[in-house]
Structures are given as C-alpha cells and as structure tokens.
C-alpha cells in the first residue's frame, strides 16, 4: 500500500508522469520507464521462487 500512496502524491506524479529529471542517470531512466518500474518490483519475487530462502 505504500507504493499506492507514494505514486498518488504530487511528488510521485511529477516524477513518474512528468519529464525525466535533469541528470539523466540509468536508474532514473529505468524507474521512469513503465516496463523497468514493473521489472524492478517483480524481480525479487522471481528470485525468491527460483532460489527459495527463509524470507519466502
């Protein structure tokens, strides 16, 4: 639920729906991209399913 609140805030809307911030680094480009944003959030689930672990 924290992500929903963060993306609903004015700062979240400016960052994710607006123009890319001035220093265009690769993490900012990745998080600004819809596919990249989803991949960063799904990747831990895939790693947990493949390798298991006490947190899974």
* 45/10 Cα distance (integer angstroms): 29
- pLDDT score of 56 more than 60: no
* 38/46 Cα distance (integer angstroms): 12
pLDDT average, residue stretch 29-43: 78
Q: Please provide the DSSP assignment of 1-56 as one string.
A: -HHHHHHHSHHHHHHHHSPPPSS--HHHHHHHSHHHHHHHHHHHHHHHHHH--TT-
Query: Can you give the pLDDT at residue 9?
Result: 84
Contacts (Cβ under 8 Å, ≥6 apart) of 6: 12
Among residues of the chain, what percentage have pLDDT more than 90?
Answer: 0
Among residues of the chain, what percentage have pLDDT more than 70?
Answer: 86
């Amino acid at each position: 639920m924290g992500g929903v609140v963060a993306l609903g805030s004015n700062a979240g809307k400016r960052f994710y729906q607006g123009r890319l911030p001035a220093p265009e680094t690769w993490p900012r480009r990745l998080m600004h991209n819809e596919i990249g944003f989803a991949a960063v959030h799904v990747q831990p689930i895939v790693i947990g399913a493949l390798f298991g672990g006490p947190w899974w």
